[in-house]
Structure 1
Amino acid sequence: MTDNFTRTAGLPKHAAGAAGPDAGHPFRGQLVAHGIPEEMHGRFAAHGVGTLVEKLGIVFREITVERVVATMPVEGNQQVAGILHGGASAALAETLGSVAAAAYGGEDRRPVGVDLNVTHHRPGLSGLVTGTCMPIHLGRTLTTHEIVITGEDGRRVCTARITNMLLDS
C-alpha cells in the first residue's frame, strides 16, 4: 500500500529519467522528477509543482500551448471501492488546465481557475491514467481547455472542462 499523504524524497515510480536536486533552483529536483521542462522552471520558483501534484504522482510528458499531457497512477489514488477516485481525476484535470493556461499566458500572467466541470465515464482500475489537455478558447483574459483522461487501454475514463482567468503578475 502506498502512503499518499506523506511527502517523501523518492520520485514517482513512473518518472523515468528524473534527476536529483540542484542548488541553482530550490525545486529543480522536484520539477525534473515531474517532467517540467527547464524553460518553465522560473514559473514554478515560489512553490514548485505543489504538494498535491507530488501526492498524486502526476508526471508531465508534454507541455505546449497546443497540448499538455501528463500521467497519474491509479494505485494510491483510489477511493473506498478500489477504483480511481473522482477527486483525483478532477485534480489531474485542473492541474493540466492550469499548466496549459500558464503556458499560454507566459511569464507575466498567472492562471486562476474559475470553473471546473468533470464527467466520469468508467472506472480507472489499475496502472496509469493519461490526461490530454487541449484548448477550446484562448482569449486575452480567459482560457478554456478540455481534458480527456484515458486508461492504459485507451478508453475514456473522464472528460473535464476548465476555464481559467489570466491575472497580471
Structure 2
Amino acid sequence: MPKNPITWIVVADGARARFLRAAPDGKRLVPARGADLIAPQGRHHVRDMVSDRPGRVDSTSRGGQRHAFEPKHDYHKLAKHHFTVSVADVLDKACLAKEFDEVILVAPRRSLGELRQCLSKRVQKAVQQEIPKDFTEYTPAMLWRHLRPMVGPKIPKG
C-alpha cells in the first residue's frame, strides 16, 4: 500500500512565513515545524531600518543650495528579499531532510513570484500548487476553511 505524501502548506508574505500540514486526523492544520519565520524588519518603516540621515552635498550650480542624496537601495524591498531567501532556505533544508513530499505555496502575487525565483530545483519539483492570496494573518482554523476548497484532494480528508 503506497504511503500518503506529506504535504506542507507554506503561507507567507514579505515578513512572515508559516509552515503547516494537515493533522493526522485530517480535520485541521498544525505547525509543520517548530515556529513561524518572522522577519524583524519586515513590517518596519524605512526610517527605522536606516541608521542615519542621507548624506548631503553643496550644489554650486544651484546657487549654493544643499540637497540630500537619494539612497541607492529600497531598504524595505531589500529586507523582504532577504526574508524570502531565508524562507526558500528553510524549504530547501526540509526537502533535503525529506520532511515533506509536496508543498503548497500561499502568498500575495509579488511575494509568490519572488519566492518562486529563490526556490531550489528540488523544492520547485515538490511544489504542487500556488495560491496567490495573503492569508498570513489567518488562524489555522480560518486557513483550513479557506484552503480546503482550493486545494481539494491535496489535503487529506477527515
Classify the TM-score, shorter chain: under 0.3
Structure number having the greater strand percentage: 1
Q: Say which one has the larger Rg.
A: 2
Normalised by the length of structure 1, the TM-score is: 0.26
- The one of the two structures with greater contact order (alpha-carbon pairs below 8 A, sep at least 6) is 2
Structure number having the greater helix percentage: 2
Normalised by the length of structure 2, the TM-score is: 0.28
